[in-house]
Amino acid sequence: MTSLYPYLSFENTKEALQYYEEVFGATDVLRLPLGEEQASQFGIDPEKASEATMHSEFSVANVQLFASDSFSGNDKINSAISLMLNYDINNKTDEKEIQDLYDRVKDHPSITVEMPFEAQLWGGKMGVLKDQYGVRWMLHGEDMTQRQQ
């Protein structure tokens, strides 16, 4: 089975991971710094290699995400792509997790609430946030029993 994983690119992933831990309550954070022996191929001073991030993993609301430094590549995130955290409104544990996430981040000065997290006309619940890196987070709850198979 093929899988799709969100893989973000930041100018400074080490700093971004700290942000997601502090603001979003990220867990299961794993960071692999760039090794001195690899620094030259990325144009990094070997003495600063440990500050660069070759690969990282973290979870927000039990969803695993991945990230690395852009290494002078493109780290500009545009709103053409959003990260949607989708959950079943019948699962009270997941519902609480997403509500707690929204409540934790919505008033942080680095967050722009594009759409408040509230009930929608289709019977679900949805909200959209943008973080300080321009990442759009869509929080979406739906009644999975109503999906046609």
Domain ranges of the chain: 7-69, 82-146
Pairing of strands 7-10, 63-69: parallel
- Per-residue pLDDT for 132 more than 80? yes
Q: SS3 sequence, the chain?
A: CCCCCCEEEECCHHHHHHHHHHHHCCEEEEEEECCHHHHHHHCCCHHHHHHCEEEEEEEECCEEEEEEECCCCCCCCCCCCEEEEEEECCCHHHHHHHHHHHHHHCCCCCCEEEEEEEECCCCCEEEEEECCCCCEEEEEEECHHHCCC
CATH class for the region spanning 82-146: alpha beta
Residue 67: what are its φ and ψ, rounded to 5°? -160, 160
Task: Render pLDDT for 47-102 as a digit per residue (tens, 0 to 9).
Answer: 888 999 999 999 999 999 999 998 867 667 777 789 999 999 999 999 999 999 99
39 Cβ contact list (under 8 Å, min separation 6): 45, 46, 48, 49, 52
Task: Render pLDDT for 8-40 as a digit per residue (tens, 0 to 9).
Answer: 999 999 999 999 999 999 999 999 999 888 888
The pLDDT assigned to 81 comes to 85
On the CB side of 62, how many CA atoms lie within 13 Å of its CA? Answer: 9
Fold of 7-69: 2,3-Dihydroxybiphenyl 1,2-Dioxygenase; domain 1 (3.10.180)
What burial class does residue 87 get, using C-beta atoms within 10 Å of its C-beta: 0-12 exposed, 13-18 middle, 19+ buried?
A: buried
Q: Which two tokens stand for residue 1?
A: 């089975």
The pLDDT assigned to 43 comes to 83
